[in-house]
Homo-oligomer: A and B are copies of this chain.
Amino acid sequence: MFVRSDPQQKQHTTRLSLHIAILTAPGDLRQDKLNKEPVIIIIMSGTQSQATASSLQICRIMRPDDANIVGNVHGGTILKMIEEAGCIIGTRHCNTQSGDRCAAQLARVERTDFLYPMFIGEVAHVSAEITYASKHSVEVQVHVMSENILTGATKMTNRAALWYVPFSLKNVDNVTEVPPIKYASPGQEEEGKKRYEAQKMERLETKERNGELLMPVSAPDRTTKEPYTVGFSQSSLIHLVGPSDCTLHGFVHGGVTMKLMDEVAGIVAARHCKTNIVTASVDAINFHRKIMKGCVVTVSGRATFASNKSMEIEVFVDADPLIEAEKGKYRAVTAFFTYISLDKQGKPLPIPPMKLEGDGEQRRFEDGKMRYLQNKAKRLADKERQQ
């Protein structure tokens, strides 16, 4: 089953002997032993499956960061593992013939059901196999099992089917050809072809639906805004507080909050300048209220002031206790970040002037200018005092 056509045969044998070396104690690798037990090769397939081109297994322990507060592993964690397995096996298969080196790009995931929850501390086992190959795509079927290593209980939690399309690494717009696979029976190939045709049809349909929906949803509608206005670069992100964001006692580390603030402010600055921007300074930040585990944090930034050399961005952090909603949303932190814009050699570039709209923006610009001038004066005074 795992034996492939001639060019691969040699490789196959090499891989196998390696594996036998692995499975037997060192020094136990004897050619005569191997010859006496040809069957062992088939048996090994269980543990050496990584070396075969058509199947793969990934597993790891579920950590606190993979789950929500009550310990349920996020569906997204599972989907990410599934895709990692598919990407490895797809890329591996598409490179088993001569020609351009290529990478397998995810084109579609079929409907996926989460049959059972998975929990922190369990081991997720993801097994992937290539089950169909068309001229330009491969189907990878994936199974996910959860294993409780304390009780030994295992459950199949997911089944998924993914379609990958290989593109050439020399020319990323060039889709390469997929090597054929061997099927257990003609019927299996037939069924694969049916799945292939069905998904192709559906992909075309969605493409159209997507076209229709191209307007943004809830995000700030930058497309209708003029460049260099506050509205154009304004950005916000939400972050679900995870265990690693918190102290042992369940409060978000101030440093985590500041990192998110810098991330948003940096996006605002990059949207305004469209260059490499770097943080130049942060004004004093006050942390008014603690942010608890289980909150969703919304971090929003907007440009307030720009001189020729730097721009100032105001950042707001709002905490929203998702489940204990009666506690209400509250503002936890605000701050001003200042960015400068750099060219490819790291030399400062001028900041595009802001286009102000409305009284609020004008007022905030004046306030920002004041802070800018005060800081400038303070820097000069410090310099003089040091001399």
Contact B294 A248 (CB under 8 A): yes
> CA A117 – CA B339 in complex, angstroms?
12
Q: Which of B46, B80, B271, B287 contacts A48 (CB 8 A)?
A: B46
Cβ-defined contact, B278 with A219, below 8 A: no
Residues of B with C-beta under 8 A to A181: none
* Bound complex: CA A70 to CA B346 (Å): 10
B216 and A249 form a contact (CB under 8 A): no
Option from B159, B218, B246 in Cβ contact (under 8 Å) with A236 = B218
* Interface: A362 (CB within 8 A): no
Size class of the contact patch on chain A: 35 or more
Q: Contacts of A296 on B, CB cut-off 8 Å?
A: 88, 92, 235, 267, 270-271
Other-chain residue from B95, B113, B152, B300 in contact with A149 (beta carbon distance below 8 A): B95
Q: Least Cβ distance of A274 to chain B in Å?
A: 5
A221 at the interface (CB under 8 A from B): yes
The minimal Cβ–Cβ distance linking A195 to chain B, given in whole angstroms, is: 10
Q: Is B238 within 8 A of A149, CB to CB? A: no
Task: Return the contact of A276 from the options B214, B220, B323 (Cβ within 8 A).
Answer: B323
B184 close to A120 (CB less than 8 A):
no
Contact of A287 among B108, B235, B247 (CB under 8 A): B108
Residue of A216, A282, A298, A302 contacting most chain B CB atoms (<10 Å): A298
Give chain B residues whose Cβ lies under 8 Å from the Cβ of A286: 107-108, 202-203, 206-207, 210
A316 and B222 CA atoms in complex are apart in Å by 16
A11 touches B152 (CB 8 A): yes
Determine whether the beta carbon of B37 is less than 8 Å from that of A29.
yes
- Contact of B57 with A43 in the complex, beta carbons under 8 Å: no
Cross-interface CB contact of A129 among B47, B109, B159, cutoff 8 Å: B47
Task: Determine whether A361 belongs to the interface, using a CB cutoff of 8 Å to chain B.
Answer: no
Q: Which of B203, B255, B318 contacts A219 (CB 8 A)?
A: B318
Bound: A183/B184 CA distance, A: 35
Contact at A125–B50, with CB atoms within 8 Å?
Answer: yes
Residues of B within 8 A of A373 (CB): none
- Which residues of B sit under 8 angstroms from A307, Cβ to Cβ? none
- Whether the Cβ atoms of B55 and A58 lie closer than 8 Å is no
| Residues in B neighbouring A259, C-beta threshold 8 A | 74, 76-77, 79-80
User: In the complex, given contacts A149-B267, A243-B243, what are 5 additional A-B residue pairs having Cβ atoms less than 8 angstroms apart?
Assistant: A5-B386, A48-B216, A96-B325, A117-B278, A218-B236
| 11 interchain pairs, CB-CB under 8 A | A23-B24, A88-B149, A95-B150, A103-B150, A103-B248, A107-B287, A172-B251, A206-B284, A216-B316, A240-B267, A267-B322
